[in-house]
Every structure is written in structure tokens, then in C-alpha cells.
Amino acid sequence: MTYASPHRLTPEEEGGPEVDVIVVGAGNAAACAALAAREAGAGKVLMLEAAPEAEAGGNSTYTAGAMRVTYEGIDDLRQLVPDVPDDLVAVTDFGSYGADAFFDDMFRMTQFRTDPELVEILVRQSLPTLRWMREQGVRFQLSFGRQAYKVDGRFRFWGGLACEVWGGGPGLVEMLHAACAKRGIEIRYATPATDLLRDDAGVRGVMVATPEGRKAIRAGSVVLACGGFESNAEMRARYLGPDWDLAKVRGTRFNMGDGIRMALEAGAMPHGHWSGAHAVGWDRDAPAYGDLAVGDNYQKHSYPFGIMVNANGERFVDEGADFRNYTYAKYGREVLRQPGMFAWQVFDAKVLPMLRDEYRIREVTKVTANTLEELAGKLEGVDPARFLQTVRAYNAAVQTSVPFNPAIRDGRGTEGLALPKSNWANTLDQAPFEAYAITCGVTFTFGGVKVSDRGEVMDRAGAAIPGLYSAGEMVGGIFYHNYPGGTGLTSGAVFGKLAGENAGRHALSLQTA
């Protein structure tokens, strides 16, 4: 990373702002920032999107739209999803997910490193922010499909994640962009910001690349909400480490770390887990970047019900250590560490009906067999003899006396294995057997810039850089090591709204100064 100085305004570029607020990016965080800036009174808000219109919306478009939010019960959820039928409520255990539970998850997942000031905002503002999104035109539904199991006739939500956006990521981006259009916010596509404009008073706009050449756009304030560096192989290798350049990218190809670079060049303080990233088990033959036609379905998240083996035929993680919401984001890194950077997930007939929808797509790398011996010969790249030994040892260790229950941490584990499986252990002994090949798919990077409790980008001396705000993936200090599912969109919305409000106010204060 070079720490060059940002573009200084030339005499021709000097002058008052052309727009009040520029938001760099057009994903969830950016759109929330733009809407909040407008609501705060900024008359002219412009969003700049590096991608062409057909690929706009960043990683937010690739998501399933799951959003982690605090709730004390169905009454809170009804603030987001008012039309849940009473007969469905009667057969569902929604449980509760209060602020304490969200804090506990964030502390536990990040090994107590999450920035206390930022996590306080994230957790406390989650429900008010989703309510505000609803007012802006975003519609939510309850996540019965992916986050609840039906046991003994009742649905039970199991992972603190009861809410998702109607229409998933594409629905979210469509509704947010429609809300922006309604409020007169322009999105300029295929227009990447390349540099910040800066003078002694602070940030004064951005330089953009256009087909006609580079151009300055002056603004009262700038919100950088243009993602992390996950799409950039060079930066992944540099910051995440060896072999991360070879990981597949789950989402957009446009998050190249531009915003982080621009902010650092303007003197921003780096913050958070720069060598950390959210990464999952992802189809071994998936394309290099995400494919919007497939969305997040290259992921393979039913591993808690089976086992995963590497090229040596050995298990390498506790597949049942916790609910998948709390392990999936760190297990991609474990797959990357295996010889050849791949693994096979193996299931038997008992659990096949429970596999998530993503196992039934056309674009899947899968083998089936009627015996374990036959399966061993079909697991490309795996030592068959060692695989069979692993399965025999595993089968013998499963505590079959403990009842299996996917809706709770059932404690049905293994006994006596050096690497245990702690929950949901089932023997692999009923044909047909199925196995799925995965590699590491990187979702987003954790390192970024430090922001204040007003969304201002902080400099290395601890002062806010006037006129510069940030939100979304490029905010550092929130996630370390791991991540509770559904928090990225919530974080983008909470900090996007915060940054947008304050960027709007800053721009207005310049007008009255």
C-alpha cells in the first residue's frame, strides 16, 4: 500500500461543491448512506458505481439477504414483518435474540477483539436501522427456509437469525436503488472513483475515471462505501497471506480495495484484522468470481450433518463444533490450508433430505455411490484407503445413544477421536452416499479504516478527517477471526446510515458557514 498524497485541487478544479454528498459505491452500505444523507437535508447526493449497471450493487447483490437483528420475540419481528400469519406464529418458537446475545456472539466470534465502540453501535442500532430501512421501502420476511427446523411439528429458529430481505440480495439492491431514485439520488454507473480531492480544509470531492478521461467532482463530503479488497488477488496475497490469491471470490469482481487505498492515502488510520477474511466452503469448480445467476448457491453449508475430508482422507475440523452460522465463515480458511486447497463433504442417505437447497443446483461438483468403497474410488484427489479408515473410526465413535436434533446443539458427538465431532454426529452407513467437492471461497476482508461513532474516517493522530466518512466492508475493527452469519448487511446498513447522516450534516454546515 502506498501512502501517496491524495489529488490536490488544481486552480481549474477549485470552486464550490457541485454536489453536497458523494457516496462511492452502490451496495447496501452506500445506498443506506445516500438515503440517510438525503434525509439529513443534503439536496444533491450522487452515488458512484465502478460496475456497469448489470453488475451494480456489489456483494450486497450476491447475498441471501439474511440480516442479524436484535428481537425479544414475535412482536419485535412484526415491526419488520407485520404480516406473519397467527397460525404460523402458533407453531413456531422464535425464541429471542436480545442485545446481550448479539454482544456475546460478537465477542465470542472475534475472540473479544471487536471494537467496543463500534460493536455497541452495531448491536443497539440493528433493530432501529432495519425499521428505518423498512420506511425507506425495503421489505423483510422471516427465514423459515434456512434458519428454522421443524421438529415434532414445531418450527424452531436456531441461530439468532430470523429475518431476511424479501427477494434476497437482488431484492435488497433493487428496493434500495428504487428508494434512491424516488428521492432524486443519481447512481452513475461504470464510474470508479480513483482518488480523493483534498485541500487543507479536508476532503473536497473525488477524481473519477470516465471513458473521456479522469475528471474531478467536487462535493461537500464524501462517503467511501466501496467494499474491501477481497476481489483483488494481489492484495489478498499481500495481506491475507500465501495462497489467498488462489481463493475463489464469492461475489463481485469490483471490490479491489480502492476505497481503503484512497482513505489511507488521505491519512486514515488502518484498523482491524488485516490478515483476516470471511471465507467459506465453496464449490471446487465455481468460477473465479461470483455468478449472479447462481448467487450464493456455490456455498455448501450442510457440513454439520456429515464429515469433511482432505486429500489425505482425513478430517480436519470439528464439523459440528457449533451451528453453521457460527463456523462457516472461518472454515473456508481451514479448507485453504489443506493440501491442494480442497475437501470433500460426505453424507449418507439418512441426512440427504436435510441438505440445503444449494446442494441441488445444476452447477455442483458431486459424486454418488452405493458403498463406501465405491465412494472412496470416486473422491478425486483423495487417498481411498485412508478415507475408509477415517470413516470406520468415525462411525465407531458416534454416540448413537444421544438423540439427533438439528434445532439445538444436541451433544450427539463422537467419543475417543483425536479430532471430535461435537454435535449432530451420524454414522455414515446407509446408501446412497453423496460427496461434494469444495475449495475456499472468500466473501469479504476484515481489515479497513478506523471510523468514529459518527462514521467519520479517523486519521493516524486520532482526529476526524474533515469531510470523509466510511461504511460497510471497508470499516475495520468489527470482525476478527470469525463472524456470526447475517452481520455484514446489518453492519453496512447501520454504519451506512450513520455515515450518510453525518456526511449530509457536514455538507449542510459548509453551506451555512
Cα 421 to Cα 337, 356, 412, 441, distances in angstroms: 19, 20, 9, 23
**Site residues (vs ligand FAD, CB under 6 A):** 24-30, 48-51, 56-60, 62-67, 192-193, 225-227, 250-252, 254-256, 258, 290, 296, 443-444, 472-473, 486-489, 492
Q: Which is nearer to ligand FAD, 379 or 440 (CB)?
A: 440
Q: What are phi and psi of 108, to 5 degrees?
A: -65, -50
Distance CA 219, CA 24 (A): 12
What is the nearest approach in angstroms of ligand FAD to the Cβ of residue 24? 5
What is the nearest approach in angstroms of ligand FAD to the Cβ of residue 214? 13
Where would I find the beta strands (DSSP E) of 178-250? 186-188, 193-199, 202-210, 213-224, 248-249
What is the nearest approach in angstroms of ligand FAD to the Cβ of residue 159? 12
What is the nearest approach in angstroms of ligand FAD to the Cβ of residue 373? 36
Q: Which residues of 146-171 are buried (b: 16+ CB within 10 A; e: fewer)?
A: bbbeeeeeebbbbbbbbbbbeebbbb
Q: Which is nearer to ligand FAD, 103 or 444 (CB)?
A: 444
Q: Which is nearer to ligand FAD, 28 or 114 (CB)?
A: 28
Helix axis angle, 116-124 relative to 126-136, nearest 10°?
Answer: 50
What is the nearest approach in angstroms of ligand FAD to the Cβ of residue 188? 9
Q: Which is nearer to ligand FAD, 476 or 488 (CB)?
A: 488
Q: Which is nearer to ligand FAD, 188 or 350 (CB)?
A: 188
Please tell me what DSSP assigns to residue 165: E
In a 13 Å sphere around the CA of 74, the CA atoms on its Cβ side amount to 14
In terms of Cβ atoms closer than 10 Å to its own Cβ (0-12, 13-18, 19+), residue 38 is buried
Q: Cell match 465413535: residue? A: 397
Could you give the dihedral angle defined by the CA atoms of residues 11, 13, 19 and 24, in that order, rounded to the nearest 10 degrees?
-130
Nearest to 79 by CA among 167, 140, 166: 140
Q: Which is nearer to ligand FAD, 60 or 502 (CB)?
A: 60
What is the nearest approach in angstroms of ligand FAD to the Cβ of residue 91? 25
Q: Which is nearer to ligand FAD, 313 or 447 (CB)?
A: 447
In terms of Cβ atoms closer than 10 Å to its own Cβ (0-12, 13-18, 19+), residue 350 is middle
Q: Which is nearer to ligand FAD, 336 or 508 (CB)?
A: 336
Distance CA 243, CA 341 (A): 9
What is the nearest approach in angstroms of ligand FAD to the Cβ of residue 441? 8
What is the nearest approach in angstroms of ligand FAD to the Cβ of residue 345? 18
What is the nearest approach in angstroms of ligand FAD to the Cβ of residue 131? 17
In a 13 Å sphere around the CA of 358, the CA atoms on its Cβ side amount to 21
Q: Which is nearer to ligand FAD, 57 or 205 (CB)?
A: 57
SS (H, E, C) 38-66: HHCCCCCEEEECCCCHHHCCHHHHHCCCE
